[in-house]
Amino acid sequence: MFSLPAPAEENARLDRLFQQLQQADEASAQSIAEEVALELSKSGSPAMDFLLRRGRSALEAGDLAAARDHFGALVDHAPEFAEGWHMRAVARARAGLLGPALSDLERALALEPRHFPALYSLGSLLEETGQDALAYEAYDAARAINPHDPDTLAALERLGHVTHGTPL
């Protein structure tokens, strides 16, 4: 198995980016969020990064079976890589495998509780299954980390938990 812990320098960079994202104004938040997402996508292994890219390409092409295979190999070989679990959850959810997708999201968030894309995915999955109160909690947790994300804010508004454009 490949389980490569991120070097302390990369962890410190990610910590700084999360802090900047918390303090960012609306204009700079998107670019900081993209930097965070890029850091979350670094496994520390070129081979694992390759599996992540292959899985994402298959997902974009609509080849859910291939995406699940690539992400499955990724989590098998790098079980401490939160983004691998997140992406396998996305592929599983799109294939209608909601229980396994939920399990993968739980694992991703256990590894990196600040993984706001996984929190958003969790909210989407819960909303899709009619669990609006839990979906709201997941979206709200994502908003707490990434306060200016338009998709998260729209989800909160859609669920009726936002008044006059200001999150509760």
- Residue 125, domain CATH: 1.25.40.10
Residue 160: its pLDDT value, please?
Answer: 82
pLDDT 10s per residue in the chain (168 long)? Answer: 444 444 567 788 999 999 999 999 999 999 999 999 999 999 999 999 999 999 999 999 999 999 999 999 999 999 999 999 999 999 999 999 999 999 999 999 999 999 999 999 999 999 999 999 999 999 999 999 999 999 999 999 999 854 334 444
Range of the domain at 38: 8-167
| Non-local CB neighbours of 56 within 8 Å, separated by 6+ positions | 67, 87
In-domain check, residue 2 = no
The whole model's pTM is what?
0.88
pLDDT of amino acid 161 = 54
Q: Could you write out the DSSP letters of every residue in 88-121?
A: HHHHHHHTT-HHHHHHHHHHHHHH-TT-HHHHHH
- Residue 129 covered by a domain: yes
On whether residue 3 sits in a domain, the answer given is no
Q: Give pLDDT, residue 164.
A: 36
Q: Is residue 50 part of a domain?
A: yes
- Tokens linked to 83: 């983004």
Cα separation, 39 vs 78, in Å, equals: 16
What domain count does the chain have? 1
